[in-house]
Amino acid sequence: MAAHEEAVYLLRGGIRDGQFTSVAHGVTRLLAMSDAPGLLDVYELSDSTAVHTETGAEVGVFALVGQEPTGDEIPPELQHSPGHNPVPGSS
């Protein structure tokens, strides 16, 4: 398997509950902007699987396990807020 291949996962919990995302193989923890200012939602790979609503394929699941402060590690330009237009400058 190539080093940069990705798989599709379901996000379970938080404001992204039910969303699908592509993740590089080997990733076991995701950080995503929360709807709470200054916090990140923390998702961890679980043993669960789900069925993709559009393709019918079985996918893995990342489950919400908590939140942590954004801190200084993530620059503001990488902190995309959730919502209708989550990426600043896009339409």
Domain definitions of the chain by residue range? 6-70
pLDDT digits (tens, 9 = 90+) for 1-36: 445 688 999 999 998 999 999 888 899 999 888 888
Q: Using CA atoms, how far apart are residues 37 and 31, in angstroms rounded to an integer? A: 14
Count other C-beta atoms under 10 Å from residue 16's C-beta: 21
| CA neighbor of 41 nearest in space, from 79, 85, 6 | 79
> Rounded CA gap, 56 and 85, in Å?
27
Model pLDDT for residues 54-88, shown as the tens digit of each residue: 999 999 999 999 998 887 666 665 555 555 444 44
Q: What is the pTM assigned to this prediction?
A: 0.75
Q: What is the pLDDT of residue 49?
A: 95
